[in-house]
Amino acid sequence: MGRDATPATGEPPLIITAQMVRTALICARQVWLERHGDPALRGELSLQARLLLEQGQQHEIAIQQTEAPLLEPLPVTSWEEGVRLTRDALSQGVTELWHGFLEHQAPLDLTDRLFIVRGQPDLLQRVPCFGTLAYRPVEIKRRRTPQETDWVQLDLYVWLLRQLQGTTPPGELWLGADEYGRPWQRLPHEYDEERLMEALAATIATLDAPSMPPATLGRHCDFCLWQEECFATRVQAGQVDVLPGVGPALRGALEAAHLSTIAAVAACPLEVLQRVRGVGPQRARQLQASARAWVEGRPIWHGPLPAGYRRDGWMFDLETCEVNGKTVPWCMGWCDSEGRTQIALLAPGQEPQTLILPDGQPVTLAPDVDSLWAALAEAVADTDGPLYHWSAYDRSILRSSAPPDLCEQLAPRFVDLLAVCRRVVSLPLPSLSLKAVAPYLGFPWPGHDDWFLAYQDYRAWLDWGDLDALTRACTYQRADVQALAWVWRWLVEEALVD
């Protein structure tokens, strides 16, 4: 994807928003795609991402209602009207303004181009400033730790306010909420013009870039509407960061060694791969096999499956939620290697009992987390076979939430099948999540594969006794353990012998 860098004569001024400046500091590609990408290729955010954004907005409203309860947002139908009403309100000397519209037009680079810079601080407050009264911006965030981009965002608001009122006001960053609904922390902001100008220059350079900047992958991608398009482009270009486990650091090291494509890594001799920064002998073998799997479109075995992992056992999985700041399981599922499944569910306030769901699945109701672990321990006590699970997460939850005696009893039997899989085989997949691996190996995944929807269904059962919703949640849990059994059987049947 590329574009002509020369702006057409008479082109309207480029609009730069505070959000754009923030995003450019995190992933330039996202900003570039917003300007030059085909809007039809924008995707949708996941339900979880949408909920988190919604929670952020609810937090802002809750803080505003505690700190400035009489404030109403400006009744506007367009940005331009918002700018006019904001200027009117500030010139009338209102004490506070919620979500005011700030805008200034100026040249920002060494050309004679004009840019329109826009920002909408959560709150504007009239405060004493250098012997006069001036408006300061307040930015409100739900999280409790500041990020560098918060300060740049406030820099931009301060700069916009300085254009309007001639003074440089102090800003504030309000983080989190205490038990009274007030900001948990109010951090003073120190205006840094150099930092802001650098961020603006980087944003302009991104918008002007003739071709798409490299991807900067991270958790922020969950909130990016271009996730699918970005991934498709990386696959098409054969970029190494499509391979599982290749993050920005390793990608940089591989690029520095002229190994920026999957094909180059696949063809690279092991002894050369091992010379790349951060790549040892085992990592080199995995990387090369992973790249070959992509190039050849098939699993590549790179180690035998030790006999211990061929041993029949239980397939185990759990789902977690936050209770009073602690992560605890709300559901556990386990099945034998043929997929016969048992489920135990956290049901606070209910008698321990077995519930038969409309689809015939029996579910053990446990009144607390200890009872949930006890149900598992009791069910698997007849044999001493392994409890296979996928990723280190299950074991960490066992250690942090199970009673010590049950933890001691169960922990030696926990076997991370993902780690085993990584040691012996590479698959042509960008992710080794069970939801990617099992369907690739032919597992027909029943129902949806979204843990968050399953949790919502569980909540619907807790809150309203919705049995159909609980059945869907348990279908999700059952699918997880049966998928694990499917993968384990495939490994046992197909893997190289030790």
The number of CA neighbours under 13 Å toward the Cβ of 215 is 25
> Which residue in 98, 181, 36 sits closest to 90, CA to CA?
98
> Which residue in 342, 285, 286, 338 sits closest to 488, CA to CA?
338
Distance in angstroms (rounded) separating the CA atoms of residues 271 and 281:
8
Which residue lies nearer to ligand SF4 by CB, 221 or 237? Answer: 221
Residue 72 CA, distance from chain mean position: 32
Which residue lies nearer to ligand SF4 by CB, 218 or 444? Answer: 218
Distance in angstroms (rounded) separating the CA atoms of residues 160 and 200:
13
Which residue lies nearer to ligand SF4 by CB, 29 or 478? Answer: 29
Q: How far is the CB of 426 from ligand SF4 (least distance, A)?
A: 23
Q: How far is the CB of 230 from ligand SF4 (least distance, A)?
A: 3
Q: Which residues bind ligand SF4 (CB under 6 A)?
A: 27, 29-30, 33, 215-217, 220-221, 224, 226-227, 230
Distance in angstroms (rounded) separating the CA atoms of residues 264 and 262:
5
Which residue lies nearer to ligand SF4 by CB, 230 or 372? Answer: 230
Distances (CA, A) of 331 to 106, 150, 285, 336, 447: 57, 37, 37, 17, 17
Which residue lies nearer to ligand SF4 by CB, 29 or 118? Answer: 29
Q: Give the DSSP letter string of 426-460.
A: E-S-S---HHHHHHHTT----S---HHHHHHHHHH
Which residue lies nearer to ligand SF4 by CB, 21 or 485? Answer: 21
Q: How far is the CB of 29 from ligand SF4 (least distance, A)?
A: 4
Q: How far is the CB of 222 from ligand SF4 (least distance, A)?
A: 9
- At 362 the three-state DSSP class reads strand
Q: How far is the CB of 45 from ligand SF4 (least distance, A)?
A: 11
CA 115, 116, 122 angle in degrees (round to 5)? 140
Which residue lies nearer to ligand SF4 by CB, 220 or 399? Answer: 220
Q: How far is the CB of 1 from ligand SF4 (least distance, A)?
A: 12
Q: How far is the CB of 41 from ligand SF4 (least distance, A)?
A: 11
Which residues, including other chains, have CB under 8 Å from residue 17's CB and lie 6 or more apart?
A: 117, 118, 119
Distance in angstroms (rounded) separating the CA atoms of residues 415 and 36:
47
